[in-house]
Structure 1
Amino acid sequence: MDWGSIIFQLVMFAFLIAFMSAVFFAVKSLVMRKSSESSAARIEKKLDRIIELLEKQSKG
């Protein structure tokens, strides 16, 4: 093998690793965003329920 082939293989390997990392982090961010939205909705429902109970308690 000559130096050109070795450098080319190293560059292609680096591009492959970079591409795989980009795909991994993109999928991870999409999954985290969906789970954070659903957890935010659950927290909002719980807070609404707490506010309702506190309003009932202050009235009664």
Structure 2
Amino acid sequence: MVGLIARTGLAAGVLLPLAAGLLLLSLSTGTAEFAVTTLTAGLGLFLILISFIALYIERKRR
């Protein structure tokens, strides 16, 4: 069950930085939209990290 949740988090974690990265290319720096999009990309990378850790622990336990 944990592995399934981690794989879902990994999929969402890949989608967030990808979409935010593409959006960052069109935004000008110093705006509120740029700051929120940068934060979103960072949260997506953090979600990827947490998902990888959960998958590693789940596979190590088996």
TM-score (norm 1): 0.53
Between Structure 1 and Structure 2, whose CA radius of gyration is higher?
Answer: 1
| Corresponding residue number in structure 2 for 1:52 | none
The runs of 5 or more residues in structure 2 that have no matched partner are: 1-29
Which among 28, 36, 46 is matched to residue 57 of structure 2? 28
- Between the aligned residues of both structures, percent identity stands at 9
Return structure 1 stretches of 4+ with deviation > 3 angstroms: none
- Deviation of residue 29 (structure 1)? 0.5
Q: How many residues align?
A: 33
What's the RMSD between the two structures over aligned residues? 0.5
The runs of 5 or more residues in structure 1 that have no matched partner are: 34-60
Listed as ranges, the matches of 1:3-14 within 5 Å are 3-14=32-43
- Deviation of residue 25 (structure 1)? 0.5
Looking at both structures, which has the greater relative contact order when contacts are Cα pairs under 8 Å and sequence separation is at least 6?
2
Instruction: Specify which structure has the higher proportion of helix.
Output: 1
